[in-house]
Chain A
Amino acid sequence: MDNDRLTQLPMSRIRTVMKTSPDMGNINPEALFLMCRSAEMFIEHMAKGAHRQGKKSLEYKDLAQYVENDEKLEFLLQILPKKITVKEYKTMMEKKPGTDED
């Protein structure tokens, strides 16, 4: 049917995810539809934004970099830590004064 073609993500699952928020009431069908569409737009926005010009692949680090550079994506910072090498980590720890070593 037409409404199915308007969305690419399963609305039942969107509702399940929404329901994990604390103190959630009911969700009317319009709100569910809008949430579904905006989730799709969000995926496109992230993929397009993070993808580097000229590069063929999209990697985790591209996403981490993109999130760091976009203010409104701040809410994602804690689930998208930028990865560092062991060497970088060691350098970082050496710079920190008074860190307790195990």
Chain B
Amino acid sequence: MQDDLEGTHSEDSGGEQLLKVGTPLREQDRFLPIANITKIMKKSVPTNGKIAKEARECIQECVSEFISFITSEASDRCHMEKRKTINGEDILCAMYALGFENYIEPLKLYLSKYKDNMITERHHSDESHDPMQTGESSRQGSGK
């Protein structure tokens, strides 16, 4: 295993960790779960098609690289405009700047579905007088 640098090595097995400065990143912090990735890949190849283990692991690394690539670009744009929070537009602009403009239209469609859901949730919570509901989503996906 890797040697600790300066930070403490956290032993908890939970999915979401606070990344302490100096703590070496674990595999599960750097990559998305391979099961989810495999499922998505399987939909993109003919049924009964095999996906080599090496290919799956490769995609796993590529996706993380893709996320970092887009995020850096979005983050730069954000800094340039003196903002601290990356928003949806930053992501879409980064896609465009990095050559993934063909993703933009489908993403916008999904975004409007997402927003509709958020509005529906807010209405439900208003009706039930839920004091917890804020503008931020309190559920970030249960990692299915």
Query: How many angstroms from the CA of A48 to the CA of B90 in the assembled complex?
Result: 27
Interface residues on chain A, size class: 35 or more
A-B pairs with beta carbons under 8 A, tally = 223
Q: For the complex formed, measure the closest distance between the CB of B122 and the CB atoms of chain A, giving whole angstroms.
A: 12
Is B16 a contact partner of A56 (Cβ separation < 8 A)? no
Is B111 a contact partner of A34 (Cβ separation < 8 A)? yes
- Which residues 39-62 in B have Cβ within 8 Å of A in the complex? 39-41, 43-46, 48-52, 54-55, 58-59, 61-62
Is B143 a contact partner of A12 (Cβ separation < 8 A)? yes
Query: How many angstroms from the CA of A10 to the CA of B139 in the assembled complex?
Result: 11
Query: Dominant SS at the A interface?
Result: helix
Is B55 a contact partner of A38 (Cβ separation < 8 A)? no
Is A3 in the interface zone, CB < 8 Å from B?
yes
Using known A-B contacts A35-B71, A48-B45, A63-B58, determine if residue A19 contacts B140 with beta carbons closer than 8 Å: no
Q: For the complex formed, measure the closest distance between the CB of B67 and the CB atoms of chain A, giving whole angstroms.
A: 5
Using known A-B contacts A18-B71, A30-B88, A43-B44, determine if residue A63 contacts B55 with beta carbons closer than 8 Å: yes
Is B36 in the interface zone, CB < 8 Å from A?
yes
Q: How many residues of B contact A (CB 8 A)?
A: 78
Query: How many angstroms from the CA of A50 to the CA of B49 in the assembled complex?
Result: 13
Using known A-B contacts A51-B49, A56-B48, determine if residue A38 contacts B99 with beta carbons closer than 8 Å: no
Is B67 a contact partner of A18 (Cβ separation < 8 A)? yes
Is A26 in the interface zone, CB < 8 Å from B?
yes
Is A60 a contact partner of B61 (Cβ separation < 8 A)? no
Partner of A35, one of B31, B54, B70, B98: B70
- Which residues 12-67 in A have Cβ within 8 Å of B in the complex? 12-44, 46-48, 50-51, 56-60, 62-63
